[in-house]
Amino acid sequence: MKMTFRWYGNDDPVTLKNIRQIPNMSGVVTAVYSVPAGEVWPEEDIQKLKEDVQGSGLEMEVIESVPVHEDIKLRRGNYQTYIDNYKEIIRRLSKYGVKCICYNFMPVFDWTRSQLDKELEDGSKTLVYYKEQVDQMDPTKLALPGWDASYTPAEMTELIDAYKALGEEGLWSNLEYFIKEIMPVAIECDINMAIHPDDPPWSIFNIPRIIKNENDLDRFLSLYDDTHHGLTLCSGSLGCGKFNNFANMVRKYGEMGRIHFAHIRNVKLLEDGSFEESAHYSPCGSLDIFEILKAYHDVGFKGYIRPDHGRMIWDETGKPGYGLYDRALGSTYITGIWEALTKMKGV
């Protein structure tokens, strides 16, 4: 496996120098963040990003993410133009050595939490999803990471209504169309496309979500019969659902060669279906991180891993979920388990 670290560009308070000093770190996972969804990324921006990363002694082989425009997901308006632009981004990233693109097909928003700075018993702060709080939210007025703040409340209402009318089968149909359009380009460029599951893996505000469980992953992979068409398997997303056996998923899809990117984080599951993000160390949450990594090791996983969301610890401030210290601890924890597994196997 290759250890990587999410980096939000030169405006990120976590610097490339910081990341370079984490043991076993091969590269960063990043993107061009200044271009609106649907527009082509300027080649000079990609080149500058690559130069900055390489200049720090790291690799830029994974992009997270290339956003999918809402018109593509709804197959309306300028969707074909946006798909053509997406293909061009794939071509340009390939030119600069990118080997894996993480993306998602979540309507309207990415990951959703009810609080970004919940203080835990030890004084650290973390992201939480409390169902009671979510049920009281007005989705047209939310301002959370992953939500496009450019929409007015009226536009957000129209967008949500459009997805409700589309429904799950309509969203599946549009995803299939998108996949069949982009995959020939990805295969030609030898780039692995790795979809990220819905986070959390259930419908919110009655908006359809379709990448939630094993049946969904099976259906998704059946859309295109090529190993370049694969998964970003996220323990913190799929692991939020008690209906998912994450380690079994790793073994199943890892043996198929369809996992290209692994997100590792722990969550503490609560009785009512809520959850709190925790330290990576297994006893801190509800997931067995050792067993998950053993599954990856057993299937000979050679893709990319990154420590996913971390708590804010040691009085650090910054982008919620993306501080330096806890993710660095998580990376070292993952690396230590991987070393032990390797030595136990005698590899």
**Residues labelled as active-site residues:** 196, 234, 263, 308-309, 322
Could you tell me which residues come within 8 angstroms of residue 56 by beta carbon, excluding any fewer than 6 positions away?
A: 16, 17, 19, 20
**Strand 229-234 to strand 25-30: parallel, antiparallel, or no bridges (unpaired)?**
unpaired
Could you tell me where the DSSP H helices lie in the chain?
16-20, 43-55, 70-74, 79-95, 131-135, 153-189, 214-221, 235-238, 246-255, 289-298, 325-345
Phi, psi of 285 (to 5 degrees): -135, -155
Burial class (CB in 10 A: 0-12, 13-18, 19+), 118: middle
- What is the number of alpha carbons within 13 Å of residue 293 lying toward its C-beta? 26
The pairing of beta strand 266-269 with beta strand 192-195 = unpaired
Structure-token pair, residue 16: 């490339």
Other C-beta atoms closer than 10 Å to the C-beta of 95 total 13
Q: What's the distance, CA 17 to chain centroid? A: 23
> 83: which strand partners?
none
